[in-house]
Structure 1
Amino acid sequence: MTGKPHAKPAGAKPPSERRAYLYKGVGETVGVVTLDGRPERLFVAWPSDDPLDAEGVRGVARIKTIEKTFNAAFVALPGGQDVILPLRPDMPKLVEGGLVEIEIKTASRADKAAVARFVAEGQGEPRVLEAAPTVEERLRQAVKAGSPTTGDKALLAVEEAEADALTTVFALPGGGDIAVEPTRALTAVDVDLGGRESGDSKRAARQANMAALSVGARVLRLKGLGGIVVFDLVGRGHDGQALTTAARNAFASDNPGVGIGAISKFGTLEMIVPRRAPPILDRLLTRNGAANPRYVARRLARALEREGRADPGGRLTARCAAAVAEAFAAELDAGVAERLGRRFVIESRSDWPVDRLEVSAT
């Protein structure tokens, strides 16, 4: 005897869908995870990356110094940078010059060293035991089923994800928006009700705050932001239990390590989100917030390949800022020539902004 399938409750939220995209371009391998069609994660690898400065690297490291004041040790893998190893009471006593087995928990960012976790006392000689997961492996960890989409669709997903990562203000479903702005101390997420339509202002605020937690979690993962995160909620008289539950659900995929505080009397929700990788803006922008010439050079390589496919026999001319031309010549010229043949020229313009590009065929 067969029964009818169970109907979904009215108003039930459909299950989330994640998809993976993998783009292998000249001088870059980029992976994108989308959540219900919007970019959620962006994994980037360049050939010049330090293979020892990445989450997941395991090895036997030498203890260089022990800083009791900070309750941490500085250790290093062979050929690697100094890594911070926090000390815990349950760890064996470490001595300078000794060995310890570690796993990189957080890669370095800006002026801050990478952070490792203690695995065991070290044996033998300092060495790397396990490399970091590749971009494709990270995609498969995030999206369990199926192979990632490649080709033009993957490049489109990459460029959409990069554009989102560079954005500050994000619309909320139903109206309103959030602004996501990192500082040295924390990341602030400001919720704005905007033009959300509702006859009940309290209900509108509750819906906006719920949506803000969901969108904010996705955006923070996309941007690679973590540490202390503060949501400045809208309205008053918040349902603390409902919002805290919504926050736990929104940030569930960031566990282990997520901590959520109570809503303050000022209407802010504070949480801690573990850092897994450096912020993606560290690649896309320079420290002063300008476009990174190395990233723009990769956009130039993509544009040349696109134009080259559209006009297989044409001669290609690319115009760009001087800094972009220098980065292209140093890192990408040979790779693009291998794919397209030597049928392109790069014209350097000293008066152009870094993010301006033009590619044409003749």
Structure 2
Amino acid sequence: MRLYSEQRFGLVRACVARDGQPLLYAEGYALDPSLTLWGTRSVARLSAKSGRIGFLKLADGQEAMTDLSDPDAINEGAALEIEIAAEARADKLPRARLIGMADGPLRRLSGPLPLIERLKSQARRLIDPQAVFEAAEDPDALDIAEAQAIHPSFDLPGGGYLSIEPTRALIACDIDMGGAGEGMIHTPRQAAKRLNEVAVAEVARRVRLSNLAGLVVVDLIGNKHNGEKLTGLVRDAFLAESPAIACGPITRFGILEFSRPWGARPHGEDTPLKAARRLLWRAVAEARSDAGGRLKLRAPGPVADLVRQCLKDSLDPLTPRLSVETASVTEVVPVR
């Protein structure tokens, strides 16, 4: 596998690719000490209970939730050893796996990993446990990975269109024949069969790349589908994640369904940190065409504050040329 990465201002974006196709993407702080990152283990405090749901207070002040198999056996205020099983998304708290009771103060148990190492770990967990990585530099490859991670819908090879739309309840995927059947007037079934197989394989790649999970529903083209072949494509694509993947039979309405547990936060969800990273990268691109000139980075309050913090702690050679201003718009403005 190839590992592409670039780091500026203490921020990193990186992707893992194979055969020219991006498989995983990540961006954020080069070293993030947050206790709510996927896989982080710590001792937390049970702050409240609601049925079988326990609410946790972590050592860094953040909150999470966990499932309590026996709520009556654990009192509020108890110290618990946990591991983050799913990062926060939308308005949902991070979900933790309860390991057991603990003693002592709230604290981190697993050391913070650099973003690159976390991405490698994710690749071994989700794609290939024996993965070997070849480091490479290619901003274009990173741009493609980022675009596909944020916008998973796209034109299929050979025609057709795959729409992937996250909703609150599920991930809705629709396969559209489009122009894929052109030149195949007498074999429309073969065209639909080929496009369904290509699309199902791409659904798996795009869902993983975008960090999407939960119930995934795929509206196939036509009827009389080869259910064994199509569900086999899903199982093969997520082989490293089995048996966590549950795949159901294709319904009489031509619907393929499978479920995948949540892990890292979906890339389609915007955050101030992502906006700050994009703004700084825009400044880098602008600086290439304005050698030596000063640039003003304008952004709303939360984004501007993060940019200021990144510049404050940065030794990047571009830093002295940049200033930050709080504004209602996000832009890079040359200072004359």
Give the partner amino acid of 1:276: G
Which moved further from structure 2: 137-146 or 330-339?
A: 330-339
Which moved further from structure 2: 231-240 or 109-118?
A: 109-118
Q: What's the counterpart of residue 229 of structure 1?
A: 216
Q: What's the counterpart of residue 259 of structure 1?
A: 246
Alignment of 1:213-362 (within 5 A): 213-283=200-270, 294-308=273-287, 314-317=292-295, 326-327=304-305, 330-334=308-312, 338-340=316-318, 342-344=320-322, 354=330, 357=332
Task: Give the superposition deviation at 1:29.
Answer: 1.6
Quick one: distance in 2 between partners of 1:82 and 1:183? 24
Q: What's the counterpart of residue 3 of structure 2?
A: 20
Quick one: distance in 2 between partners of 1:325 and 1:100? 34
Cα 1:204–1:332 shift into 2, 3 Å: same
Q: What's the counterpart of residue 73 of structure 2?
A: 93
Q: Which has the larger radius of gyration?
A: 1
Q: What's the counterpart of residue 287 of structure 1?
A: none
Cα 1:306–1:335 shift into 2, 3 Å: farther
**Residues 41 and 108 in structure 2, CA contact (< 8 A), matched pair in contact too:** yes
Cα 1:52–1:297 shift into 2, 3 Å: closer
Task: Give the superposition deviation at 1:172.
Answer: 1.7
Equivalent residue of 1:21, what SS? strand
Task: Give the superposition deviation at 1:237.
Answer: 0.8
Cα 1:249–1:275 shift into 2, 3 Å: same
TM superposition score normalised by structure 1: 0.78
Task: Give the superposition deviation at 1:120.
Answer: 2.6
Give the partner amino acid of 1:220: V
Match of 2:147 among 147, 158, 163: 163
Match of 1:59 among 42, 64, 77: 42
**Residues 21 and 31 in structure 1, CA contact (< 8 A), matched pair in contact too:** yes
Q: What's the counterpart of residue 6 of structure 1?
A: none
**Residues 214 and 261 in structure 2, CA contact (< 8 A), matched pair in contact too:** yes
Q: What's the counterpart of residue 116 of structure 2?
A: 136
Task: Give the superposition deviation at 1:97.
Answer: 2.2
Quick one: distance in 2 between partners of 1:64 and 1:320? 40
1:122 matches 2:102: yes
Q: What's the counterpart of residue 190 of structure 2?
A: 203
Quick one: distance in 1 between partners of 2:235 and 2:153? 23
Equivalenced residues, count = 326
Give the partner amino acid of 1:262: P
Give the partner amino acid of 2:277: R
Match of 2:24 among 41, 52, 68: 41
Alignment of 1:4-19 (within 5 A): 18-19=1-2
Quick one: distance in 2 between partners of 1:130 and 1:347? 38
Task: Give the superposition deviation at 1:244.
Answer: 1.0
Q: What's the counterpart of residue 175 of structure 2?
A: 191
Give the partner amino acid of 1:51: S
Task: Give the superposition deviation at 1:326.
Answer: 3.3
Cα 1:148–1:76 shift into 2, 3 Å: farther
Task: Give the superposition deviation at 1:116.
Answer: 1.0
Task: Give the superposition deviation at 1:96.
Answer: 2.1
Which moved further from structure 2: 44-53 or 272-281?
A: 44-53
Task: Give the superposition deviation at 1:30.
Answer: 1.8
**Residues 41 and 81 in structure 2, CA contact (< 8 A), matched pair in contact too:** yes
Which moved further from structure 2: 31-40 or 324-333?
A: 324-333
Cα 1:309–1:119 shift into 2, 3 Å: same
Task: Give the superposition deviation at 1:131.
Answer: 3.3
Task: Give the superposition deviation at 1:306.
Answer: 4.2
Greater RCO (CA < 8 Å, at least 6 residues apart): 2
Of all paired residues, the percent bearing the same amino acid is: 32
**Residues 56 and 63 in structure 2, CA contact (< 8 A), matched pair in contact too:** yes
Q: Deviation digits for residues 148-200 of structure 1, max 9, x if unmatched?
A: 324xx1x3333222222332531222221200101111110111111114342
Quick one: distance in 2 between partners of 1:207 and 1:36? 21
Quick one: distance in 2 between partners of 1:336 and 1:309? 19
Give the partner amino acid of 2:141: A
Gaps of 5+ in 2: 125-130
Quick one: distance in 1 between partners of 2:32 and 2:72? 33
**Residues 49 and 55 in structure 2, CA contact (< 8 A), matched pair in contact too:** yes
Cα 1:322–1:227 shift into 2, 3 Å: closer
Q: Alignment RMSD, CA only?
A: 3.1
